[in-house]
Structure 1
Amino acid sequence: MVEQSDRAPLLDWEEVPPAEPAPTSPSLEDENSLESSPSNCRPLGSTIAGIGWDTSAGDLTNSTAVNSGSTSSPSKQTGPGEGAPTCNEQAECTFPGLAVKDRRVSEWEEKDQIVAVFVVTFDTRSGNMIEWCLPQDVNLEGVEFKSMASGSHRITSDFIYFRKGSYFGLACFANMPVESELERGARMKSVGILSPSYTLLYRYMHFLENQVRHQLQCPGQYSPLEAFYEDKKAVLPSGGNGLVTACPTSALTTMVNRCMHPEMKITHPAGCMSQFIRFFGEQIMVLWKFALLRKRILIFSPPPVGVVCYRVYCCCCLANVSIPGIGVAVPELRPFFYINVADITALETELSYVACTTEKIFEEKKDLYDVYVDNQNVKTHRESLQPLLRLNTADKEKYRKLSEQRQLLLYSQEVDGDCSSSEEDLFILFFMEQNNRIFQTLSEVAGSADPTLTAEHVRAMGLDPQGDRGFLVDLLEVYGIDVMLVIDNPCCP
């Protein structure tokens, strides 16, 4: 297995260490700062089986789960305003903050993925506007609002994942005080990219961070972004369907997992999944049921929005299933990441999604979502779903087991130095195994001579025969599983 750099590489690029490195440790007292700053993070790997976003084409496929590991190393920062690309003796151009390392077997999937690069600025008279982009004829309508979240003027930096039509974007935002009456004392910009898939966007995080700092210090100097786009621009098929050509057959042997099974590296200092667990606690079990039922889940939070985009990803991971054929006929649980009012029309036709927003007005648009998450408060306006908000005995037992497994993992890492598994792996596998157990049992009962689901079957699936009855009824309907649900009345002897 080939290892990759864990510093958000670009073609396995990594940040050039400064001449005199002076690493700093992030303060544990400011959790919001840690959560929102990808610079202080170590990427961690996981996959989204059952979500099925093809990393090569950006369209939907059914896939099984594959876990990918990663190593850890501290990332180092370069100073702001380091601008033009330089070339070494081999004439390999490097961008500020990045250096060519090793392309190895992952070269194919990491190239030809960027369909646009852009700079967004806040103008005191015109508001958010696209300042510069390549290619110049690309449709970026609305990107100026997606890449600079509402309320961002209150924070100094952020990063945002979003969806634009059939593409996904990542933008890094920064806010710098300036002595300018014209700019009202603050200069705000975002530098972002579009790609057919969200699963590799993390690789460009540090480059975008560096470039937004450069744009604040030296507005109008776009040569590094031009060089970046020329190196990474996607080669789209002549049919104009907006999809990158499929993985070449010659690469399938070494690349099949990376090409066919989507992954999203997470760059949170404590790990995305572990932060997600700590943030929601037992409420994860409520979100798990809504995700498995393919409900429309909308998460509200004020800026910074970067860590909330990771919560969108984590919610999608709750619905992982690796049994072939399961979920083929149900709507994909699609990650929309950050949305704003410009996305209302698109959301009206979506059957299943997870998204986040900083705009409180969405709470009033109840026809757009089934489940609304405000901070740690999970609620639904749909009467039929409200019983699922109540935790039952089985939910609490599952959360207890998850917590126990986490503690055992942390203990083995601390005492035995065992780093072969991560909290991300644990989280992904815990819910995948739970989901597999449910659907395996349902499939066996449906295929038996007596397709009757009893209380014993329900307990074997790790569910509560009484408390989860409504959940099971909905699950059977959504997935089209033909079994008869028979639960004994607890009031009868």
Structure 2
Amino acid sequence: MVEQSDRAPLLDWEEVPPPPPPPGVASASLPSPRKDLRERILANSRALGHTGPGTGWSSGPEAPAAAVGDVDLQSGGFRDGTEREGEKPGGGGGGTGRLSAWDGQERDQIVAVFVVTFDTRSGNIVEWCLPEDVNLEGVEFKSMASGSHRISNDFIYFRKDRFFGLACFANMPVESELERGARMKSVGILTPSYTLLYRYMHFLENQVRHQLQYPGQYTPLEAFFEDKKAVLPSGGDNLITACPGRALGPTVNRCCVYPEMKITHPAGCMSQFIRFFGERIMVLWKFALLRKRILIFSPPPVGVVCYRVYCCCCLANVSVPGVGVSVPELRPFFYINVADIPVLETELSYVACTTEKIFEEKKELYDVYVDNQNVKTHRESLQPLLRLNSADREKYKKLSEQRQMLVYSQNVNADCSSSEEDLFILFFMEQNNRIFQTLSEVAGSADPTLTADHMKAMGLDPQGDHSFLVDLLEVYGIDAMLVIDNPCCP
């Protein structure tokens, strides 16, 4: 009997062999980064005032607390007495076994399950759903990305109103003239949070294959929904509008603890993200911290690109109390299409991905456009941020070295108590914290003047990061003055 893998088979990234130890360092003398990394993650996760995208967002400061369980301040997560599927003590599902800033428990909150099919006469349609009266307008396009007819399978994260969805798509050849030789379907779910969607990846993959082979047989989906359906609060629009962090009280900024988007592939989305963008991560980091509207284009499959949306959001994580209260929240929209244009026209800050090239022409909808590894902006004021400087390269070098040490330690010690995702999130959180702590101290001093020494202390280039820091002071409303000369030809 073959044991089923814990990873989602749609995520077939190439495995990279562990790197050799750093030159001149014997393997026995290498310190293990585990304990320090775990302690730093816990310290950051317990700190009040985290900012960043979360499991949901509120429509205003008076939004009610989310009905998704009680918050445990000690663990930075939820308490509901349940055990996460696929996780074991000291380890985790999917081979990551991570200790994250969002390592508590959340209840199952499936608010809808649906089947979408491509009809040769009508196009994409919702052929079945539970509950029957749920509003799924637009889901037929979100769960079957434009251009999917050219691929055999995919998975898609998306946002529908205040909910998040995950759909698995599959395309099967059939000998049917009516279906024009191909049967295409997606099976998906909606929840108030994207952090637990990974738990249902295998189920959705199996069900979409089942729907292709036996169309119209919905019994497993009906049983699934009956078992997992959410109990939503009565009244209003029946939407869970606030993030769980609100239960901690008014001192916590937005979504106080950054949620974990569990990745089931052992290679992890963070390592793939780092390898894909390389040093250009530092360019994305600046745009994310400035809360710009970032749109990522890629042809199908779009599943891996949805993970890039998540990784971009991680770049803007801050845990300094009071920081980010007045700035737009960086919202992960995941996959979008032309039907989302009216919503995007009202957004001040977001990260999203699309397979529709027409978005490139709609420059009023975004500030930053990412096509493959090419990061560009049509806004003249942001052009200087596209250039990498010495401080950017130094930060990327440090990230690569820390990642190399972690991967090597994993290989030697076979210890999965923390992951590259932990390392990645913590690296940028600490970088961001250093910047805002320094800016807060300078702004609160008798002489609120930023010098080249302050820039260097923040890990920034006094010349190359001049325009970035000017924008940062303006966006976050920090009352400090930058007096460093910025030559016109750096």
Q: Specify the TM-score bucket, using the shorter chain as the normaliser.
A: 0.7 to 0.9
Render the CA deviation track for 1:141-164: whole Å, top value 9, x for unaligned: 110000000111111111100011
Render the CA deviation track for 1:7-27: whole Å, top value 9, x for unaligned: xxxxxxxxxxxxx2166899x
What secondary structure, in the 3-state scheme, does the structure 2 residue paired with 1:268 have? coil
On the 8 A contact 2:450/2:481 being kept in 1, the answer is yes
Superposed displacement of residue 261, structure 1: 5.1
Query: 1:285 corresponds to which residue?
Result: 282
On the 8 A contact 1:174/1:213 being kept in 2, the answer is yes
> Structure 1: 5+ residue runs without aligned partners?
1-19, 37-44, 76-104
What secondary structure, in the 3-state scheme, does the structure 1 residue paired with 2:403 have? helix
Q: How far apart are the structure 2 equivalents of 1:285 and 1:245? A: 32
Matched, 1:167 2:196: no
On the 8 A contact 1:393/1:464 being kept in 2, the answer is yes
Query: 1:302 corresponds to which residue?
Result: 299
Q: How far apart are the structure 1 equivalents of 2:411 and 2:123? A: 50
Matched, 1:114 2:110: yes
What secondary structure, in the 3-state scheme, does the structure 2 residue paired with 1:266 have? coil
Query: 1:51 corresponds to which residue?
Result: 52
Matched, 1:362 2:363: no
From 317, 332, 351, the counterpart of 2:348? 351
From 338, 341, 347, the counterpart of 1:341? 338
* 1:219–1:51 Cα change, 3 Å: same
The amino acid of 1:166's aligned partner reads R
Matched, 1:34 2:34: no
> Structure 2: 5+ residue runs without aligned partners?
15-37, 66-70, 78-86, 96-102
Higher relative contact order (CA 8 A, sep 6+): 2
Q: How far apart are the structure 2 equivalents of 1:261 and 1:471? A: 24
The amino acid of 1:225's aligned partner reads L
On the 8 A contact 1:296/1:369 being kept in 2, the answer is yes
Render the CA deviation track for 1:238-282: whole Å, top value 9, x for unaligned: 22233349999xx99xxx9x9965221123341110000000000
Query: 2:91 corresponds to which residue?
Result: 71
Superposed displacement of residue 450, structure 1: 0.8
Superposed displacement of residue 333, structure 1: 0.3
Query: 2:100 corresponds to which residue?
Result: none
On the 8 A contact 1:372/1:379 being kept in 2, the answer is yes
What is the 5 A alignment of 1:265-284? 265-284=262-281
Superposed displacement of residue 52, structure 1: 4.4
Q: How far apart are the structure 2 equivalents of 1:404 and 1:241? A: 49
From 429, 433, 437, the counterpart of 2:430? 433
Query: 1:194 corresponds to which residue?
Result: 190
Query: 1:232 corresponds to which residue?
Result: 228
What secondary structure, in the 3-state scheme, does the structure 2 residue paired with 1:110 have? coil
Superposed displacement of residue 206, structure 1: 1.2
Deviates more, 1:346-355 or 1:125-134: 125-134
From 21, 26, 50, the counterpart of 2:2? 21
Q: How far apart are the structure 1 equivalents of 2:295 and 2:154? A: 20
On the 8 A contact 1:235/1:244 being kept in 2, the answer is no
What secondary structure, in the 3-state scheme, does the structure 2 residue paired with 1:280 have? helix
From 370, 380, 387, the counterpart of 1:373? 370
What secondary structure, in the 3-state scheme, does the structure 2 residue paired with 1:294 have? coil
Query: 1:399 corresponds to which residue?
Result: 396
Query: 1:156 corresponds to which residue?
Result: 152
On the 8 A contact 2:120/2:178 being kept in 1, the answer is yes
Aligned residues: 424
Q: How far apart are the structure 2 equivalents of 1:409 and 1:276? A: 16
What is the 5 A alignment of 1:126-275? 126-244=122-240, 262-275=259-272
The amino acid of 1:21's aligned partner reads V
Q: How far apart are the structure 2 equivalents of 1:57 and 1:451? A: 34
From 107, 124, 145, the counterpart of 2:120? 124
The amino acid of 2:91's aligned partner reads T
What secondary structure, in the 3-state scheme, does the structure 2 residue paired with 1:400 have? helix
* 1:370–1:260 Cα change, 3 Å: closer
TM-score (norm 1): 0.79
What secondary structure, in the 3-state scheme, does the structure 1 residue paired with 2:352 have? strand
* 1:365–1:458 Cα change, 3 Å: same
The amino acid of 2:392's aligned partner reads D
On the 8 A contact 2:56/2:241 being kept in 1, the answer is no
Q: How far apart are the structure 1 equivalents of 2:342 and 2:6? A: 44
Superposed displacement of residue 119, structure 1: 0.2
Render the CA deviation track for 1:190-216: whole Å, top value 9, x for unaligned: 001111121221111111111111111
Render the CA deviation track for 1:164-220: whole Å, top value 9, x for unaligned: 111111101111111111111111100011111212211111111111111111110
What secondary structure, in the 3-state scheme, does the structure 1 residue paired with 2:186 have? strand
On the 8 A contact 2:94/2:265 being kept in 1, the answer is no
Q: How far apart are the structure 1 equivalents of 2:228 and 2:3? A: 31
Q: How far apart are the structure 1 equivalents of 2:453 and 2:57? A: 43
Deviates more, 1:414-423 or 1:324-333: 414-423
What secondary structure, in the 3-state scheme, does the structure 2 residue paired with 1:267 have? coil
On the 8 A contact 2:174/2:181 being kept in 1, the answer is yes
Q: How far apart are the structure 1 equivalents of 2:320 and 2:172? A: 50
On the 8 A contact 1:57/1:196 being kept in 2, the answer is no
On the 8 A contact 2:391/2:460 being kept in 1, the answer is yes
Superposed displacement of residue 226, structure 1: 1.1
Superposed displacement of residue 392, structure 1: 0.4
On the 8 A contact 1:51/1:320 being kept in 2, the answer is yes
On the 8 A contact 2:375/2:386 being kept in 1, the answer is yes
Q: How far apart are the structure 2 equivalents of 1:66 and 1:394? A: 35
* 1:49–1:215 Cα change, 3 Å: farther
What is the 5 A alignment of 1:301-340? 301-340=298-337
On the 8 A contact 1:56/1:259 being kept in 2, the answer is no
Q: How far apart are the structure 2 equivalents of 1:236 and 1:420? A: 35
Q: How far apart are the structure 2 equivalents of 1:450 and 1:482? A: 11
Superposed displacement of residue 397, structure 1: 0.6
From 470, 473, 483, the counterpart of 2:470? 473
On the 8 A contact 2:164/2:191 being kept in 1, the answer is yes
Superposed displacement of residue 71, structure 1: 2.7
TM-score (norm 2): 0.79
Matched, 1:390 2:391: no
What secondary structure, in the 3-state scheme, does the structure 1 residue paired with 2:264 have? strand
